[in-house]
Structure 1
């Protein structure tokens, strides 16, 4: 894979279980909440929670639900982009099944 466009179908395949997608959604939702809270309150120490929350929910989804390795291990930036693309697609009512 040399482009995100090529990576995206692989990403979706690695997130084929709806419960895994939902766990990613919850984690990414709380990443947004904590980020906004830190920005508005200027409590910058809260920012250390972002990877803990984001990866925590995602890794439960992969290791326990999907039983595969997170794409983050081989493609960290594309995987992060994929997480947000999937989150916003789910906000639009897509990818829930």
Structure 2
């Protein structure tokens, strides 16, 4: 069963993401860092734009679309954190787990396991 956002927000200030040694431990923390619906929506937008840019890169054989996808994806996510969630992105301390968390949360949002 996937972790949910409900009840995890209180963990946000007590958990050091560097102390989490597996993605399974990290993901509940990741969700707690995305308790604001607007932040999650910005992540969803950024991930969707990133996927569209990857498709454009493949369709046009232009690798610059990958750069555009990364910039737009992270810009949306960081707007969500600094503008709505009022926290620092977990990618600053755990970049790989955070990147993985983005895609797991994106999938979970599509499946209805994490709310928009």
For normalisation by structure 1, the TM-score amounts to 0.95
| Cα distance between partner residues in 2 of 1:29 and 1:35 | 10
Say whether 1:58 aligns with 2:77.
yes
SS of the residue aligned with 2:38? helix
**Shift of residue 50 of structure 1?**
2.0
**Residue in structure 2 matched with residue 75 of structure 1 by the alignment:** 94
Higher Cα Rg, which structure? 2
Say whether 1:32 aligns with 2:72.
no
After the TM superposition, which parts of structure 1 deviate over 6 Å for at least 4 consecutive aligned residues? none
| Cα distance between partner residues in 2 of 1:11 and 1:67 | 14
**Residue in structure 2 matched with residue 4 of structure 1 by the alignment:** 23
**Shift of residue 96 of structure 1?**
1.5
Q: Is the 8 A contact 1:27 1:55 kept in 2?
A: yes
How many pairs are equivalent? 97
Counting helix residues as a fraction of each chain, which structure ranks higher?
Answer: 1
Deviations 1:11-48 (A, max 9, x none): 00000011100100000001000001111211112211
SS of the residue aligned with 1:62? helix
Give structure 2 stretches of 5+ with no counterpart: 1-19
Range with greater deviation from structure 2 (40-49 or 22-31): 40-49
Flag the structure with more relative contact order, 1 or 2, with Cα contacts below 8 A and sequence separation at least 6: 1
Backbone CA RMSD of aligned residues: 0.9
